[in-house]
Amino acid sequence: MPRFVVTQFSISLFFILSFSLGAADPSSPRKVAFLVGVNKYQKPAFSNLTYAEQDVQEVGAELKRQGFEVTILTGSGEGAKQATRVNVLATIRQLVAPLSKSDVMLVMLSGHGQQFDVRHPDGMTKNDAFYCPVDGVNNDPETLVSISYLIDEILAPNVGRKLVLIDACRDQPKDSTRGSSKGVQGRVIALPEDTAVLFSCKAGQQSYEFEELGHGVFTHCVLDGLRGAAAQQSEVSWTSLVAHVSREMSQPDLRKLLPQGRQQTPIPAGGVEYTVLATITTPKTPDKSKMDKPPTPLSAPFTAEEARTSQAAWAKHLKLDVEIENSIGMKLTLIPPGEFQMGSHESAEETAAFAVGTGYKDAKAENYNDEHPRHRVKLTKPFYLGTHEVTKREFRKFVTDEGYRTEAETDGKGGWGFDGEEFKQDPKFTWKNVGFDQTDDHPVVNVTWNDTEKYLGWLSDKEGVTYRLPTEAEWEYACRAGTMGRYVTGNDPEELAEVGNVADGTARKKFSNLTTISAEDGYVFTAPVGSFRKNPFGLRDMHGNVWEWCSDWYDEKYYANSPQENPEGASSGSLRVLRGGSWGLDPAHCRLALRYGNAPSDRGCSLGFRLARVP
């Protein structure tokens, strides 16, 4: 599919800058990268993109391997990490300020853009290009980021060499009767001295992105070049990268992906002195693996053997491992794409009757309406999911690195814990202390949804890849793993003790008023992660132990309007989704289909989280 269309200015843009701000040790220059990507815009006039955010994450990871200090903003980011106009301009100013003449800076902007005739302070009307941040408004330059201003006012006063790559397919907003009808016509802005530009296509052409590549065609070639395919004598220079991209985009393997009769021809402009972008120990040939036809997605119901076979096939296709361990020792498992029935196979009345029958006497059908209607969901992209919940050990590394204090530690309210007689909220209870025994292998609790976002930002920056919370649909698909019943084990609540830590006979010995199953798992409170049998995908603790935060806003009526493909939840709300139940809950409330919502600032001794990661 085309990433953007030619009459508006949609960009994947990066500037590689060598500064001249004052004396610095030329033997040890700083290399700084600032990358911005937006897939989903706040205003409906802009069509959503697929790979803009993934593009900046992968370019960022490649630059980090080359010694760059990487800062990334995305449309889906939170707080200062979200790609708003204010954040984009403030961040680039902060990064530019301390750099010296021997330093290198790279700025990548990936997403939509527009082009207008704008009246400048000198009274002249000039054609200007604008990058569209996540909060940009269609045809309103005041809400966009002027590329002229970015280069001329922020960068040019102290910048030496400027290298600009523009993955431009000028996509029209959904209201295509408004806005400029002109293409870029061979230029974005007048080029300052010592500036070189490489356009992804000629004016009048489109710039495409494809699932087979996992990128735009242009960015795929740029990444391939930076990884070594453009190396000459172990160096990837601007000149060699331009030559590589131009050569690769003319190759039959890529051209055959384009719609019949279409072309995409990169166009270079300007020039700079010799500039090295990457040093390669062993030059690599272009990686064609992702151009192979991907394996067939799964379709539930499917067996455990089919799940494992699909995982292996997708791992081979992506040249990845099914199970990986990251830099902090966290284990993650590859989840292949697939389709499944999301929601309860039982009516709300049947679920309430089941809950009453297992001992939860207050159950009412209206409490389970949010699990309906059951609907088909298609997840089109593979993703990694934590093999188990985030542990205290894994959370402590974040706290130690960042000096972070959770909301329970800073707002004066504290978390929830057990004081020997009752559960209550108290400042003495935090993720470190919940009033019952926990080792570093237990899941971290008393963390809010807001806390998890800080953790995700830290780990993403640390590793140069995207960590996030799973969507509610991803969570249920991964938990079900091809099964169709109440639990991954079937419909018998007693079998829950095999796969998860729920309220059971062990807990009832301490808390006689609990609604429990009869089986005993040996744990009253939380259990060490990985203590129970894995599901067909190889995941553990999806049922019980602790509730797991998801990325979605909670909407009890969302299923009635949910898109079939890659649903991401309601566009706004006051509660965030929780899934999976916990160690203190009865079998009716640890079901696969159960939905719950809490405020993003809520915390508890049964609330934790599990990470997802972009492959």
pLDDT tens-digit readout, 360-418: 999 999 999 999 999 999 999 999 999 999 999 999 999 999 999 999 999 999 999 99
pLDDT tens-digit readout, 12-55: 545 444 433 333 344 567 888 888 888 899 988 888 888 888 88
What are the residue ranges of helices labelled H in 66-197? 85-96, 147-149
Residue 607 to residue 587: CA distance in whole angstroms: 17
In order of 138, 378, 486, 561, the CA distances from 370 in angstroms are: 35, 20, 15, 12
Q: Which residues pair with 584 in a beta bridge?
A: none
pTM value is 0.60
Strands 195-199 and 31-37: unpaired
pLDDT tens-digit readout, 511-544: 998 999 999 999 999 999 999 999 999 999 999 9
Quote the pLDDT of residue 272: 65
- Contact (CB, 8 A) for 185 and 204: no
* Over residues 100-112, mean pLDDT: 78
Strands 31-37 and 69-74: parallel
- Contact (CB, 8 A) for 292 and 214: no
Domain limits, CATH 3.90.1580.10, in the chain: 304-613
> When comparing pLDDT for 252 and 358, which is higher?
358
Q: Which residues pair with 107 in a beta bridge?
A: 15, 34
Residue 388 to residue 390: CA distance in whole angstroms: 7
In order of 423, 432, 596, the CA distances from 417 in angstroms are: 5, 11, 21
Quote the pLDDT of residue 190: 59
Quote the pLDDT of residue 183: 30
What are the residue ranges of helices labelled H in 231-320? 238-248, 252-255, 304-318
Closest CA to 164 of 110, 216, 107, 111: 107
* Over residues 412-436, mean pLDDT: 96
* Over residues 298-303, mean pLDDT: 96
Mean pLDDT of the chain: 85
pLDDT band (50, 70, 90) for residue 489: very high
- Contact (CB, 8 A) for 206 and 264: yes
The alpha carbon torsion through 367, 370, 373, 377 (nearest 10 deg) reads: -140
Q: Which contacts (CB < 8 Å, 24+ apart) does range 284-290 have?
A: 284/227, 284/228, 284/229, 284/231, 285/229, 286/224, 286/229, 286/248, 287/224, 287/227, 287/229, 287/319, 288/253, 289/317, 289/318, 289/319, 290/212, 290/213, 290/214, 290/220, 290/317, 290/318
What fold characterizes domain 11-211?
A: Rossmann fold (3.40.50)
- In CATH terms, 304-613 corresponds, of 3.90.180.10, 3.20.20.10, 3.90.1580.10, 3.30.200.20, to 3.90.1580.10
Q: Which stretch of 4-18, 132-146, 374-388 has the lowest confidence by average pLDDT?
A: 4-18
Q: Which two tokens stand for residue 163?
A: 């290298």
* Over residues 313-319, mean pLDDT: 93
- Radius of gyration for the chain, computed over Cα atoms and rounded to the nearest angstrom: 26
Quote the pLDDT of residue 17: 44
Quote the pLDDT of residue 21: 32
Helix (H, G, I), strand (E, B) or coil at 464: coil
Domain limits, CATH 3.40.50.1460, in the chain: 11-211
pLDDT at residue 161 greater than cutoff 80: no
Tell me how crowded residue 320 is: count the other CB atoms within 10 A of its CB: 14
Residue 566 to residue 500: CA distance in whole angstroms: 27
pLDDT band (50, 70, 90) for residue 575: very high
Closest CA to 216 of 227, 205, 200: 200
Could you tell me what percent of the chain has a pLDDT over 90? Answer: 53
Helix (H, G, I), strand (E, B) or coil at 302: coil
CA terminus-to-terminus distance, the chain: 21
Helix (H, G, I), strand (E, B) or coil at 115: strand
